[in-house]
Structure 1
Amino acid sequence: MENFQEEYKISQLISKEVLDELTLEESAIIQEWVGRSQENKKLYDAIKNGKRRLARDKYVGGLDTEGALEKFRTKIVPPKRTVKMWPGWIGRVAAVLIIAFLSGGVYFLSRNTIKPTQQVAQTSLNPGSSKAVLLLDGGEVFQLESTESDSIRESDGTLITNKEGKLAYTGVRNKGLETIYNTVKVPRGGEYSITLSDGTRVWLNSESQIKYPVQFEDDKRKVWVNGEVYFDVQPDKKRPFMAMVKDVEIEVLGTEFNVEAYPETDRVLTTLVEGSVKLTKASEEIIIAPNQQAVIRKSEKRFTVKNVDARVWALWKDGVIYCESERLEVIMSKLARWYDANLFYMNPSVKNKRFSIEVKRYQNIDKVLDILAATNKVRFEVHENNITIME
């Protein structure tokens, strides 16, 4: 590197890269710098191979908001005096690592406006991936993976293709044959998407499933779901689309909506993104508009409706975990499904504490737990796939 100013700039960019916040332009700057010399490449690898992260975690664990900026200024802009630097490559690594750790810590503070005082042990828990189980009408079972590419022919002639984590149906309904059904089940730590025979697109979150006709009938399109599912329904005025969720019927013509109804909960939560839907439970009916959310519990006869930012509730299908002022129990349940983890609460009262969080869905869980623990309201211990939650 030519001078200390450039070292500082590069260290900032590398710290942003580790935090998954790098723009394409900034990434190009790093790659150009790495390609200049073998020394630059060695320095980059040293920072990225975990040395930077371990030191940053140790630093952030004891950071206080009042002293962070002052410490940052002291290290980056020292008083005018003679400074004796370590000689050679090792000294340059240390200098850049110090800057990277500090800039990472200050950046962390500015993004989350919290006081990090807790550490989370490193864990091998990995994010989920595209995987599911397909059950055909005749009882055959197929394991679906995003890395596989398969074609399956159903008994009515429908062609089922599986490619890159997406299942698609093509064919024409044979009116002489009885309607046959398929079921897709997504396990913990999984997700999958389907394009039904009418062109409707369906995204399934972890621990969710859908049962559907291979070819829809002439007068209606009816599916059965549980868990969390996002629908982008193909318009068809002649054949209304109906999703059966527990004891609630959701009827649409063409729309986008998210439904959450896990078996262990007693609620059905429907959030409308576009179009309109009619919800029915027994004799109770209600129609909701975009950016409205309807909730009904098993013991209730009437729906409760509130205004929301509907897109936020569908961010999971776009690779984002988002919760705003949500109970810790709800947040941890989402994480447990996605990372296939077991949860243990040392004190049940911590479940009711509220947090806001927005993180990328495909990163290791320790980054997520770091953010929650840094509020100083909760602590975590991770062993294998078990997470213990403490105050």
Structure 2
Amino acid sequence: MTPRNTNISRLLYGVVDIFRKREKEFSISEIDRAWDDCEQRIKRAASRNAMRRRISIWSGAAAAAAAVILVFWPDGADLADTPGLTTIQDITTYALNTEVATTSGHIINIVPGCDTTMVEQNRASINCLANGMVMVNGRPVSGDAGNPSADRYCQLAVPKGRRAEIEFADGTHLWANSDSRVVYPLEFSQDKREIYVSGEVYLDVAPDKNHPFIVRNTDFNVTVLGTSFNIMAYGNGAPSQVVLVSGKVDVDNSSNGTVTMSPGQLVDITGSAISSPRNVDVTTYVSWKDYMLVYSDKSLADVFSRLNICYGREFVLSSDVADIKVTGKLYLKDDIEDVLHAIAFSAPVRYEESGDSIYVFRTGCAGTAP
């Protein structure tokens, strides 16, 4: 884990270099406002760090340059070389501008003012406590509590083959499936509870009629007071889906207005279109939370597509396998070999591993892995 001071030094050197290259683009009034903003940030940082080691690097012209970049970066500027720089903005804009890479294969949790936590295990459990403290797999992570503004967001990134859970301070419980991302505040604001998700999550929202819980995505929002539901929004060309288990939710976007759902219903979201709610067996859509994959009259192509997300393995199906229809239940164990044995036992298929891919053929038919 890299020391925090080293991270900040690297960030500020990058900021100063970029600012020097672009300084002529900022007006005097913008620089004056940046100085004012810088002073306020330093005061807040000093207060927050009273119980921690002080970071002397936040001073002088370097901090002023950082403040200018943070607050007044010109439209269309490339922030790729200065990770972590954001303006105060709504959670969706923040999420879209701060994508977290999971190329390491580890679960990543980022808390403002702290080192990034990388979890090497297959699962992570995160607890957000009422005092602003965050626990990751039982270990405390101290963040900047007391300021739920839009520049204090935490982020959880779960790569393929991994799982994570978050328990928020209000009692809401979130399960994040593989290949998913959650952006959330250290503390919810006084008027609403709000997070951003992509991928697949299951939520059991703590009831609070005075503080609606809002789940945001690029294409839609889900608003609830207290309920259990599943969201699948991988953004891979397939429709996003909201499945309601209990309670009542409103799904809205900028084009179709609001659709109200009742328990046992599903809606599809394709671009700006929200379908009418239809009744479904919710078990099929939420069983992943309990490490099961339940399917009824589904093609093996659909089943292996889900296994790709759950295990992060690439499955290559022969043309005579993809359309085989199956019904059953798979226990998503840690060992993919056990899952493949179960499929081969119930369907006329065999499989071979080659490199990082698993090739699936119909039993009795010719075909070998390359």
Query: Residue 263 of structure 2 aligns with which residue?
Result: 290
> SS of the residue aligned with 2:273?
coil
Structure 1 residues 182-201: aligned runs within 5 Å: 182-201=154-173
Structure 1 residues 69-108: aligned runs within 5 Å: none
1:231 to 179, 199, 203: 203
Q: Distance in 2 between matches of 1:340 and 1:195?
A: 25
Query: Residue 318 of structure 2 aligns with which residue?
Result: 346
Q: Distance in 2 between matches of 1:252 and 1:265?
A: 26
The residue type paired with residue 175 of structure 2 is W
1:362 pairs with 2:333? yes
The residue type paired with residue 368 of structure 1 is V
Structure 1 residues 190-339: aligned runs within 5 Å: 190-284=162-256, 285-298=258-271, 301-339=273-311
Aligned length: 257
Q: CA deviation at 1:257?
A: 0.4
Query: Residue 160 of structure 1 aligns with which residue?
Result: 134
Provide closer, same or farther for how the CA distance between residues 153 and 296 of structure 1 changes in structure 2, counting only shifts above 3 A: closer
> SS of the residue aligned with 1:229?
strand
TM (norm. structure 2) is 0.61
| Cα deviation digits, residues 277-333 of structure 1 (max 9, x gap) | 0001223221111111111222x6231422122234222111212222122222112
Asked whether the equivalents of residues 321 and 361 of structure 1 are also in contact (C-alpha less than 8 Å), the reply is yes
Q: CA deviation at 1:168?
A: 9.8
Runs of 5+ in structure 1 lacking a partner?
1-129
1:381 pairs with 2:352? yes
Q: Distance in 2 between matches of 1:244 and 1:386?
A: 34
Query: Residue 110 of structure 2 aligns with which residue?
Result: 135
Q: CA deviation at 1:226?
A: 0.8
| Cα deviation digits, residues 196-248 of structure 1 (max 9, x gap) | 23221100111111001111111111111011100011111111111112311
Asked whether the equivalents of residues 278 and 286 of structure 1 are also in contact (C-alpha less than 8 Å), the reply is yes
User: Highest relative contact order (Cα 8 Å, sep 6+), 1 or 2?
Assistant: 1
Provide closer, same or farther for how the CA distance between residues 179 and 200 of structure 1 changes in structure 2, counting only shifts above 3 A: farther
Provide closer, same or farther for how the CA distance between residues 353 and 340 of structure 1 changes in structure 2, counting only shifts above 3 A: same
Asked whether the equivalents of residues 197 and 214 of structure 1 are also in contact (C-alpha less than 8 Å), the reply is no
The residue type paired with residue 298 of structure 2 is E
Asked whether the equivalents of residues 248 and 268 of structure 1 are also in contact (C-alpha less than 8 Å), the reply is no
The residue type paired with residue 248 of structure 2 is S
Higher helix share: 1
Whose Rg is larger?
A: 1
Could you tell which deviates more after superposition, 138-147 or 220-229? 138-147
> SS of the residue aligned with 2:277?
strand
Q: Distance in 1 between matches of 2:141 and 2:221?
A: 25
Asked whether the equivalents of residues 146 and 163 of structure 1 are also in contact (C-alpha less than 8 Å), the reply is no
Query: Residue 180 of structure 1 aligns with which residue?
Result: 152
| Cα deviation digits, residues 74-107 of structure 1 (max 9, x gap) | xxxxxxxxxxxxxxxxxxxxxxxxxxxxxxxxxx
Asked whether the equivalents of residues 132 and 187 of structure 1 are also in contact (C-alpha less than 8 Å), the reply is yes
Q: Distance in 2 between matches of 1:375 and 1:151?
A: 37
Provide closer, same or farther for how the CA distance between residues 178 and 318 of structure 1 changes in structure 2, counting only shifts above 3 A: closer
> SS of the residue aligned with 1:337?
helix
Provide closer, same or farther for how the CA distance between residues 150 and 159 of structure 1 changes in structure 2, counting only shifts above 3 A: farther
TM (norm. structure 1) is 0.58
| Cα deviation digits, residues 324-362 of structure 1 (max 9, x gap) | 212222211221222221122333x64333222312211
| Cα deviation digits, residues 138-181 of structure 1 (max 9, x gap) | 47311135699999999x961111226x9999997457x76510
CA RMSD across the alignment: 3.4
Asked whether the equivalents of residues 245 and 268 of structure 1 are also in contact (C-alpha less than 8 Å), the reply is no
